[in-house]
Amino acid sequence: MMTSLKARQQELKKFFQIVGAQQNDLLDLLAARDIAKLVKKPKAHKKVPEYEATTKDLDQVMEEARNLFHQKYRMDVEAAEKLCEMEKELIEQRFRVGLRRDILLIC
């Protein structure tokens, strides 16, 4: 029984090697045909029905990404402005405290 299973396994292995080799040859042939078609008609991809839908989807994704970028940019600018204002207030506070201390030392 084991020998028949081993023989069958070897048989299948050889068969799949042959099929795999044929698939590689066919894929190479298809790729060469597609490349030749692209060389002859470089804008042929625009005439397929899926082109417009795909382009529309890509434009939508790009617009969403652009909006997300602008939203993040605005949030970053807002945070930087708040930080700047807080630092400015801190500097002014320290200046006033130092000024008061100087006045008290003078008196």
Convert the pLDDT of each residue in 14-53 to its tens digit: 999 999 999 999 999 888 888 888 788 888 888 888 999 9
> Residue written as tokens 């600018």?
77
CA atoms within 13 A on the CB side of 14: 5
Residues 57, 51: contact at Cβ < 8 Å?
A: no
Instruction: Please state, for a pLDDT cut of 90, what percent of the chain lies above it.
Output: 54
Evaluate if residue 79 carries a pLDDT over 90.
Answer: yes
CA–CA separation, 36 and 103 (whole Å): 88
Q: What is the pLDDT of residue 5?
A: 86
Q: What is the pLDDT of residue 92?
A: 94
Give the Cα-Cα-Cα angle 45, 49, 52 (nearest 5 degrees).
80
Q: Taking the mean position of all CA atoms in its chain, how far away is CA 21?
A: 35
Mean pLDDT of the chain: 91
